[in-house]
Structure 1
Amino acid sequence: MMNLSRRIVLQSLLASVALPALAQQGAAPAPTPFRFEDVVRRAREIAAAPYEASTQQLPPPLSQLSFDDYRDIRFRPEKALLAGGGGPFRMHLFHPGFLYQRPVTVNVIRDGVPTPVPYQRELFDYGRNKVEKPLPVNLGFAGFRLHYPLNTPKVFDELIAFLGASYFRFLGRDQKYGLSARGLAINVPGGEAEEFPYFREFWIEMPTPQSDRATIYALLDSPSVAGAYRFDVYPAKETTVDVTATLFPRQTIQNVGVAPLTSMFFEGENERRRQDDFRPELHDSDGLLMQSGSGEWIWRPLQNPARKAVSSFSDNNPRGFGLMQRDRVFENYQDLEAFYHQRPGYWVEPVGQWGEGRVELVEIPTKDETHDNIVAYWQPARPLERGQEVTLNYRLRAISDTNAMHPGGKALNTFQTPPRASGSNGPSDPTHRRFIIDFAGGDLEYYLADPTQVQLVPSTSTGKITHTFIVPNDHTKGFRAAIDVKLEPGQSTDLRAFLRAGNRALTETWTYPWSVE
């Protein structure tokens, strides 16, 4: 249940005290403040009715806008909403058009009363676009974004944006947009066509001068499910978003992705695809980080595969997972426009018991950096049954530095190469591969004084490990480990490795898939 402001609580108390007198005078009782439970009720009602697939057709020229045309329509900052409450948040609206053909309703809740924001042409600068005919007042919006003095006290920077289906993005201090979060994902691995639930209506609470958070409610809808969402957004160096989701399946859903994250990985040091480009690496995220229910930390570098690949990590009550941008060195990207080194990772931390299931990672081939080709989410072991009511709680955090997330050593770099003998120039064996991992951080620097105490612990699900070695790496103040693996044609394997001293694990577990065609 949402925390009511002091003003609303006092109003409710006063109303309850005055109710008998008002009733005697024939006056109507004070209205009940709008709450998250009202969104839950709406979701329950629409889930019980047939899904309405039809949408209002946008009038021309909005229905025919190109990417550049749409980008030329800008919200006028001086028209920002939410300023009337004196709080630290401002709201800008996205115009419908281009890819965003389904208008949504945006409401502002003031003193417990929700009011729809009417479309007004004066809210936008249309740039070079010619919109000669009046547009309907019920046109709606494509979405919205909230601004907050995030990076400096005097400037309202973009904090969080909801635009398209159930996608949203948010930022911490000194971060640049990269990956996205979603409300829900359905049928991502394949087998059936992927379904994209969408937020059809939003409610934003009017912030007060004392507000340290923004509270947003959203109504989700799709052919398979309806749902009510609450987002409490706390701006900070690493902004957090507390999420409550109550779902009402219209039908049994076998492949559902909870707390889904979507990102882009085109090229990294672990997978060189030589392009005619001066930039060494191109990715919004470079790995999937997980903490299992048992407490083990696992790092899985991302790939741009030749064909769609699905990796699953079974668990019981996971402690967290997320897509991370671990590499923060500008020289590894050399991009003065995209600022890949400043893009955040998103960490999902379940609140309460999520039970049995798996973290699923889907990697899709992409030929350039313009397409999101990475999806990660939690897949419950049991399907969502028709008529069931499911409530899930979790926290999202925008991460700039993964070093503070756990005290152990981290897999800093991943490389692969043929395991040629020294001085050999002959053709490599495609069934034999060497994987090189740089581990750094934690207590690894301590063991550089006596490297013999550190052991590499490798394993492979298939095939044979033919050789391993580990050497100190003074450049990273850690250790470089190598694993040579031999597979038969047509085989695939999952590699795992970590460093230990005696019975003590010194690092997270590195894992990586490899196959031989």
Structure 2
Amino acid sequence: MRDDNASPDEPGTSTDRSGLSRRSFLTAAAALGLLPAGGRAFAEDKLLTFEKPRAFSFDLLADQARRMAMQPYIETKSRDPKVLDQIDFDAHWKIKYRPEATLEVADGSAPVRLFHLGRYFQLPVGIHVVDGDKSRELRYDPVVFEMPEDSPARKLPKDIGYAGLRVMAPDQKTDWLAFLGAAYFRSAGELNQYGLSARALAIDVAMPTPEEFPRFTDYYLERSTTPGHELVITCLIDSPRMTGVFRMDVGKHGPVVMDIDSRFFARDKIDRVGLAPLTSMFWFSETDRPDRIDWRPEVHDSDGLALWTGSNERIWRPLNNPPMVRTSSFADRGPKGFGLLQRDRSFANYQDDGVFYEKRPTVWIEPKGDWGAGEVQLVEIPTDDEIHDNIVVYWVSEKPVGRGDEIPLSYRLTWSKDEPHPAEVSTVTATRIGRGGIPGQPRPKGVMKFAIDFDGGYVAKLDRDAKGVEAVVNASRGELSNIECYSVKIGTAWRMTFDIKADDPEPVDLRAYLKSGDQTLTETWLYQFLPEPDSAA
């Protein structure tokens, strides 16, 4: 079982399964270290040495990425794969980054430490420290790591390079931000518990062709000048069909907030470019729990996709673990935000005191400027265990991407306990499915009952016997019946229930909300119901 809140001495693991292939990489854990006190960014000591200064700015790095896109892609290959393959999870976490080698780019508020290469991340990255309009690259030296005498890492070249970095808390006992593998990054968020991942770019997810994984090749670290922020991390991106620069201005005061500015440059035509992608894990919840699959009531990093559309509609789409890869698209123009949320915050609903799923971050994407027309795409991939990330969500512009195209994109990424912009309308708090019909009477074959709870917002202010509250339910196919709504006798929630009979096992798209007269009381609940073959007969 993975520990996603690992201490510096106990590395956590995460597995990236964001496309049709499943890619493994360690995330915020292994014992490592990087950032020296403010004013010492270029100071050299017996552990840390730097290359000569070079001119640096976001625009200069963007120009470099643009020039790269005009040239053929040159694949970076592992220099010593036989040795690196020996550095598995157990061997990797025994390699400790020396605390005295920690870099302090941000006056102690965001110490940075480095990851060693290993089996799952064999390509080195450049680590650069920025001071004004100059940057210097940190030289690799194995002396910054403590290694067991029998560690395979001792056989590697003395200039093999670093794998990634993580940002520590000021006391350096835990980390809260990690970059390791491809163009992925994770934060422990407001509740200090790692969960889902973000990445800079997703190319051809769930397409007939293999997914392409752009990677951060270089990291540039500098102190933030934004009030309330600590660190700016600017990354150079490369892949066979895309290059780019990705700048994150990061602050952690409660929620972790990243103001992101990026530019991407296409080397070639790309059928599906996923912007602002998130990757998560959903195995099962109370919604449609398989019998005896696991002793815990629920297992997931996120339980739903939330959308705030350009037309101001609030939407909640509970996640599925489907029998085959499913892609759902939500067309929009000028979206106000979207994200993968962990709404269920009750330990009693998970009962896991090892990985604390109730503390996993909610991650919200807030566009800056007008993103125009396009769609949010949700990809759900089958999984039979919690070690596989099987959920991906991203924005796809309606404008196709061709060779030579430039894509500018800016947004705010927030890792928090709750949505950063709560809605006035009531939100979905539970979705449950069971046998249809009426208790005590013969159950109709092939009929399933849905029960959706709404709470907070408008319905929480209603009297229990309020009149005129109406359930609005629509289905893409099938027969709806027994549609009701009522106040739950405990608490302030209102419940909607309905039955549906589907004629075959093909997906059924459901849409529902509560209203009173012309007033919409709740967010819109969307669900892709997957009838079981025998129940649909």
TM-score between both structures, scaled by the size of structure 1:
0.88
Look up the match of 2:472.
457
Question: Is 1:493 the equivalent of 2:508?
Answer: yes
Q: Is the 8 A contact 2:80 2:156 kept in 1?
A: no
Check 1:344–1:69 CA distance in 2 against 1; reply closer, same or farther (3 A cut). same
SS in 2 for 1:160: strand
SS in 2 for 1:293: coil
Q: CA deviation at 1:420?
A: 2.8
Deviation track 1:172-220 (CA, whole Å, cap 9, x = no partner) reads 3333000000110011122211111111111111468987321111111
Aligned pair partner of 1:126 in 127, 140, 147:
147
Q: CA deviation at 1:75?
A: 1.8
* Alpha-carbon distance in structure 2 between the residues aligned to 1:198 and 1:379: 19
* Alpha-carbon distance in structure 2 between the residues aligned to 1:207 and 1:78: 23
Aligned pair partner of 1:43 in 65, 70, 88:
65
Once superposed, what is the RMSD of the aligned Cα atoms? 2.2
SS in 1 for 2:379: strand
Look up the match of 1:333.
350
Q: Is the 8 A contact 2:84 2:153 kept in 1?
A: no
SS in 2 for 1:451: coil
* Alpha-carbon distance in structure 2 between the residues aligned to 1:132 and 1:347: 38
* Alpha-carbon distance in structure 2 between the residues aligned to 1:295 and 1:207: 33
Check 1:156–1:235 CA distance in 2 against 1; reply closer, same or farther (3 A cut). farther
* Alpha-carbon distance in structure 2 between the residues aligned to 1:444 and 1:59: 59
* Alpha-carbon distance in structure 2 between the residues aligned to 1:401 and 1:355: 26
SS in 1 for 2:348: helix
Aligned pair partner of 2:308 in 279, 287, 291:
291
Q: Which structure 2 segments of 5+ residues have no match? A: 1-38, 40-52
Hey, which of these two has a bigger chunk of helix by percent? 1
Question: Is 1:423 the equivalent of 2:444?
Answer: no
Q: CA deviation at 1:487?
A: 1.9
Aligned pair partner of 2:426 in 389, 405, 409:
409
Look up the match of 1:260.
277
Question: Is 1:322 the equivalent of 2:343?
Answer: no
Check 1:190–1:132 CA distance in 2 against 1; reply closer, same or farther (3 A cut). closer
Aligned pair partner of 2:113 in 82, 87, 92:
92
Look up the match of 2:12.
none
Aligned pair partner of 1:474 in 467, 472, 489:
489
Question: Is 1:194 the equivalent of 2:211?
Answer: yes
Check 1:170–1:129 CA distance in 2 against 1; reply closer, same or farther (3 A cut). farther
Deviation track 1:321-342 (CA, whole Å, cap 9, x = no partner) reads 0000000000001111101011
Look up the match of 1:26.
none
Letter in 1 for 2:310: G
Check 1:155–1:222 CA distance in 2 against 1; reply closer, same or farther (3 A cut). closer
Check 1:219–1:377 CA distance in 2 against 1; reply closer, same or farther (3 A cut). same
Q: Identify the structure with bigger relative contact order (alpha carbons < 8 Å, sequence gap 6+).
A: 2
Letter in 2 for 1:90: P
Deviation track 1:405-434 (CA, whole Å, cap 9, x = no partner) reads 2121111000011213322466x623x221
Q: CA deviation at 1:73?
A: 2.0
Q: Is the 8 A contact 1:409 1:508 kept in 2?
A: yes
Mapping of 1:21-32 within 5 angstroms? none
Look up the match of 2:458.
443
Look up the match of 2:20.
none
Q: CA deviation at 1:399?
A: 2.1
Moved more, 362-371 or 401-410: 401-410
Q: CA deviation at 1:404?
A: 5.8
Q: Is the 8 A contact 2:86 2:152 kept in 1?
A: no
* Alpha-carbon distance in structure 1 between the residues aligned to 2:455 and 2:134: 54
Question: Is 1:359 the equivalent of 2:380?
Answer: no
Letter in 2 for 1:89: A
Question: Is 1:205 the equivalent of 2:217?
Answer: no
TM-score between both structures, scaled by the size of structure 2:
0.85
Number of aligned pairs? 481
Look up the match of 1:74.
96
Q: CA deviation at 1:126?
A: 2.5
Q: Which structure 1 segments of 5+ residues have no match? A: 1-6, 8-30
Check 1:381–1:207 CA distance in 2 against 1; reply closer, same or farther (3 A cut). closer
Check 1:195–1:376 CA distance in 2 against 1; reply closer, same or farther (3 A cut). same
Q: CA deviation at 1:271?
A: 1.6
Letter in 2 for 1:463: G
Mapping of 1:5-20 within 5 angstroms? none
Look up the match of 1:148.
169
SS in 1 for 2:124: coil
* Alpha-carbon distance in structure 2 between the residues aligned to 1:308 and 1:193: 14
SS in 2 for 1:448: coil
Letter in 2 for 1:231: M
Q: Is the 8 A contact 2:204 2:272 kept in 1?
A: yes
Deviation track 1:141-161 (CA, whole Å, cap 9, x = no partner) reads 111011233xxxx55641211
Look up the match of 2:24.
none
Q: Is the 8 A contact 2:280 2:391 kept in 1?
A: yes
Question: Is 1:241 the equivalent of 2:269?
Answer: no
SS in 2 for 1:64: coil
* Alpha-carbon distance in structure 1 between the residues aligned to 2:223 and 2:158: 23
Moved more, 370-379 or 69-78: 69-78
Q: Is the 8 A contact 1:409 1:507 kept in 2?
A: yes
* Alpha-carbon distance in structure 1 between the residues aligned to 2:527 and 2:130: 48
Q: CA deviation at 1:134?
A: 5.9
SS in 1 for 2:463: helix
Letter in 2 for 1:355: G
Check 1:339–1:367 CA distance in 2 against 1; reply closer, same or farther (3 A cut). same
Question: Is 1:510 the equivalent of 2:525?
Answer: yes
Q: Is the 8 A contact 1:90 1:146 kept in 2?
A: yes
Check 1:490–1:416 CA distance in 2 against 1; reply closer, same or farther (3 A cut). closer
Look up the match of 1:139.
160
Moved more, 392-401 or 121-130: 121-130
* Alpha-carbon distance in structure 2 between the residues aligned to 1:449 and 1:310: 39
Deviation track 1:18-77 (CA, whole Å, cap 9, x = no partner) reads xxxxxxxxxxxxx99521011101101111111012414226532322222222223223
Check 1:134–1:484 CA distance in 2 against 1; reply closer, same or farther (3 A cut). closer
